[in-house]
Amino acid sequence: MATTRLTDREKLAHLYRRFGLGATPWELDEAEKLGYERALTRLLDWDKVEDPGEAVSPYEFCWRDKEDPDTGSWRFRSWWIYRMLTTTRPAKEKLTLFWHSHFAVGDDKVENGAMMLEYLQTLRRNAGAKFSVLLEAVAKDPAMMRYLDMQRSIRGRPNENFAREVMELFTLGIGHYTEEDVKEVSRALTGWGYIDTYWEMGGTPIERLKESIRDDRPFATFTYMPPMHDPGPKTILGKTAPWDGDGVLKMLAEHPTTAEHIATKLWTFYAYADPEPAVVARIASAFRKSGGDIRHTLFAIARAPEFWSEKCLRHLAKSPLDYTLGIARAQGLGKAVSELRKPDADVYQAVAQRILDECGALSWHMERQGLNLLVPPDVAGWKWGDAWITPAAMTMRYGYRGNWFWGEKGPGPSAVHMYE
């Protein structure tokens, strides 16, 4: 597949649109000074990049003047949008979005904003880790357990919801397991549960929140109950052993078919749909040889010649988040909202109402285009690419872009603004 000749700045813009949150002028200016390879390394090795916004606590978005704190999920959705607006680590947040869709959990069922925050932080902490580490962390996350009814899975009465989805959606993919495998995996996962610390500790909302902050204690946490676990032998994917949850997850994470499934989904998210078998094989090989290292796999995608082909360039429909936040970041909204936070602010002080308003408005625009953070449509997550291009979404994009550039009237978004 022939690659397309690009200027250095065009090449960097493509990289930042796909792996970041749009390509702002100042990001491209800085990247040009570094050169492509150093800019790529800086983008994907985000832990080495200073990000002052990491000091902004999600708890600051909970406090209300003369009222009890609100730990509803919309508060933490606003915090995440604030982080994406202001971050100097855009690839971390973009990858977190991918995992939010891959390991879909929605507050429409969880109905617990505190748990949804813990889930979001689980994804953000482990986004670039080994896949086995991420899979275990997500599987033991209370919000995921509640979403797929794992807390109801006990010896003699295993629940099959998570067992099915962990193979079909999270690891192997459709067609690579049997119904008997589902039953046996569900037995292996019996005895797993969680403690809803925040709501069970008693006291007033303000006392619970202050105590959680003071003791640096999660709102909810995983727990294992040995008497509820089925220790008997189980045959899973043709292998018989006294499987437990940790063992099953490790086997699934390291399975060759999982590498192909994750490689296909990552390529579809960052490059284009329906990748060629040779591309999948190459990216899956990078995944396997690195022991499932996600960042190593992203480097392989960015360095693939197909990533620079005509088929890839400007042919991936922007998601509502890429479109909405891409414009907002490029217009300097991130800097504007960060300056609204008091220099001496701390975790016990509420953020300025203007910050909540701006982040809430961006959330509303994304939702109206079809992407409501922390509330995916179902356990399969969102459909990416051209699925975002609908009449209703285009109407919303027309209005949103018009608000930035033309007031209430003017030309709508052109094709170049719809695709990245």
Is residue 267 in some structural domain?
A: yes
SS3 call for 192: strand
Q: Are strands 192-195 and 221-224 parallel, antiparallel or unpaired?
A: antiparallel
Residue 39 has pLDDT above 50, yes or no: yes
Average pLDDT, rounded, for the chain: 94
Please report whether residue 228 resides in a domain.
yes
Give the separation between CA 158 and CA 154, rounded to whole angstroms. Answer: 5
Q: What is the pTM of this model?
A: 0.95
Q: What is the pLDDT of residue 408?
A: 46
When divided into structural domains, the chain yields a total of 1
Task: Give the tokens for residue 62.
Answer: 């909970």
pLDDT at residue 411, as a whole number: 44
For residue 65, the model assigns a pLDDT of 86
pLDDT at 319 over 60: yes
417 within a domain of the structure (yes/no): no
Stretch 112-141: mean pLDDT, rounded? 98
In a domain, 55, yes or no: yes
- Domain residues for the domain of 233 are 8-308
pLDDT given for residue 406 in this prediction: 58
Picking from 142, 152, 146, 148, the residue whose alpha carbon sits closest to that of residue 219 is: 142
Contact 154, 145 (CB under 8 A): no
Assigned domain for 209 exists:
yes
Does the pLDDT value for residue 285 go beyond 70? yes
pLDDT of residue 403: 78
Residue 326 resides in a domain: no
Query: Quick check: helix, strand or coil at residue 175?
Result: coil
Q: Which structure tokens are listed for 27? A: 């990001």
- Angle in degrees, CA 172, 370, 72, rounded to 5: 90
Residues 189 and 158 sit within 8 Å (Cβ to Cβ): yes
Condensed to tens digits (0 to 9), the pLDDT of residues 153-193 reads 999 999 999 999 999 999 999 999 999 999 999 999 999 99
Backbone φ, ψ for residue 385 (5° rounding): 80, -135
- Domain annotation covers residue 195: yes
Rounded to whole angstroms, how far apart are CA atoms 131 and 93? Answer: 17
Burial class (CB in 10 A: 0-12, 13-18, 19+), 412: middle
In this prediction, residues 70-76 reach a mean pLDDT of: 96
Let me know if residue 323 belongs to a domain: no
How many whole angstroms separate alpha carbon 6 and alpha carbon 394?
A: 29
pLDDT at 214 over 50: yes
pLDDT digits (tens, 9 = 90+) for 74-96: 999 999 999 999 999 999 999 99
